[in-house]
């Protein structure tokens, strides 16, 4: 079964506990990146960044990032090269984000999404598979190129045109 990482600050802590129980019961191997207790003054990057690094390194196949709204968790996770996190509130985005965009981290708001919906969205996310189509790979490569230091584009023969589209020179 898939190895899944999960992390939350105090705003997502209660939801994290529920989700971990459900995932383990379904046979997933769950790696908990914290928080390990609800502390009102903790900071989501302290938990989300280690989760995102584990996803990027392939130590876990997918990640679940939780905070009060899901916004901060999504922003933090997306700062790690190789992570494609999406803030999800609906079933279509939960599978389409994986199928078209190879989303590897789902972000949810513990104060926004109820327990039952969160479980449904996470199951949808974990069951979805990347389509691998050429057009989706091309788009993902253009986004991944943004992770490169700005000087490297001059070194590797790529440039952005006037519309910001990455092209080979």
The catalytic residues are 67
Q: Which of 61, 17, 69, 81 is nearest to 44 (CA)?
A: 69
> CB atoms < 10 A from the CB of 101, how many?
17
**Residue linked to tokens 């196949």:** 61
User: Strand (E) positions, the chain?
Assistant: 3-8, 29-32, 62-67, 85-87, 105-109, 158-160, 166-168
């Amino acid at each position: 079964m898939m190895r899944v990482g999960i992390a939350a600050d105090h705003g997502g802590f209660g939801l994290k506990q529920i989700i971990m129980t459900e995932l383990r019961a379904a046979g997933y191997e769950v790696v908990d990146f914290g928080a390990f207790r609800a502390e009102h003054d903790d900071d989501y990057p302290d938990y989300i960044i280690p989760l995102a690094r584990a996803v990027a390194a392939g130590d876990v196949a997918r990640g679940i990032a939780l905070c009060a709204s899901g916004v901060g968790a999504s922003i933090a996770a997306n700062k790690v090269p190789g992570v494609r996190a999406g803030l999800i509130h609906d079933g279509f985005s939960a599978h389409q984000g994986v199928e078209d965009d190879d989303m590897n981290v789902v972000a949810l708001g513990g104060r926004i999404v109820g327990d039952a919906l969160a479980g449904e969205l996470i199951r949808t996310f974990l069951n979805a598979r990347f389509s691998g189509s050429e057009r989706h790979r091309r788009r993902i490569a253009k986004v991944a190129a943004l992770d490169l230091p700005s000087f490297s584009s001059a070194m590797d023969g790529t440039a952005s045109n006037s519309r910001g589209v990455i092209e080979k020179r």
